Structure 1
Amino acid sequence: MSDLASKRCVACEGDAKALDLAACMKLKEQLPERWRLLREGRMLRAEFTFRTYYQTTAFVNAVAWIAHSENHHPDIDFSYKVAKVSWWTHAVNGLTENDFICAAKVEKLLAE
């Protein structure tokens, strides 16, 4: 696992800028292949499959806890056995290191 999971999100200030595609691709290398760059490198998304609805909702709640503790919130879509987590920084209309930090923390959930 990358050291991204050990970092903390930082608040985006008014002059914060989205990462360029090259920087996003470099950070994405630290995540499992399930994570995809979408919207021309402005969104990071992964799909997770579980055996039961209970496992899916437990995962969604754990992701919500990460989001709350980092004060950085994803879009989450879920159904019976599938959850899709999408990170992007609304304030910059693109990706920041915060998005990759949170994705790494989500991956850490599954490793534990």
Structure 2
Amino acid sequence: MSDLKQEHCKPCEGGVDPLDRTAAQNLLSQARGWTLNDPATEISRTYSFKNFYETMAFVNALAWVAHKEDHHPDLEVGYKRCRVRYTTHAIKGLSMNDFICAAKVNDLIGE
């Protein structure tokens, strides 16, 4: 299995099937702390921080990863937390891009 942090997202404009639950669960082993939703269409993780400044520093670093990979999460930002959700909208489910980005986001905090 390749190291997802070393991979890069590939454009996805649809026309391919989303990953099934088994494939998604297997990829979660490289995205520590992320959870799969019930229909297996989204992964998410909530990160906690000491204060608002650290939260926003994380959000800005995450925005850089999203820009470089051209794959963008949904974010819910609060004072000391950030919930990150990935899905590939074009296929209404999960793709490798979601797991690549999840691994890269974890790398921002040294995981």
Cα distance in 2, alignment partners of residues 68 and 16 from structure 1: 23
Listed one character per residue, the Cα deviations across residues 19-46 of structure 1 (whole Å, up to 9, x for unaligned) are 00000000011121x2000141100000
1:5 corresponding residue in structure 2: 5
Instruction: Work out whether 1:61 is the aligned partner of 2:60.
Output: yes
Cα distance in 1, alignment partners of residues 28 and 8 from structure 2: 17
Instruction: Work out whether 1:28 is the aligned partner of 2:28.
Output: yes
Q: Which runs of 5+ in 2 are unaligned?
A: none
Local SS of the residue matching 1:45: strand
Listed one character per residue, the Cα deviations across residues 41-89 of structure 1 (whole Å, up to 9, x for unaligned) are 1000000000010000010111111111100000010100010000000
Give aligned-pair identity as a percent: 45
Which aligned runs of 4 or more in structure 1 are off by greater than 2 angstroms? none
1:65 is matched by which residue type in structure 2? W
CA RMSD, 1 decimal: 1.3
TM-score (norm 1): 0.93
1:73 corresponding residue in structure 2: 72
2:16 corresponding residue in structure 1: 16
TM-score (norm 2): 0.94
Local SS of the residue matching 1:56: helix
Cα distance in 2, alignment partners of residues 57 and 90 from structure 1: 25
Number of residue-to-residue matches in the alignment:
110
Cα distance in 1, alignment partners of residues 38 and 105 from structure 2: 21
Cα distance in 1, alignment partners of residues 14 and 83 from structure 2: 29
Q: Which runs of 5+ in 1 are unaligned?
A: none
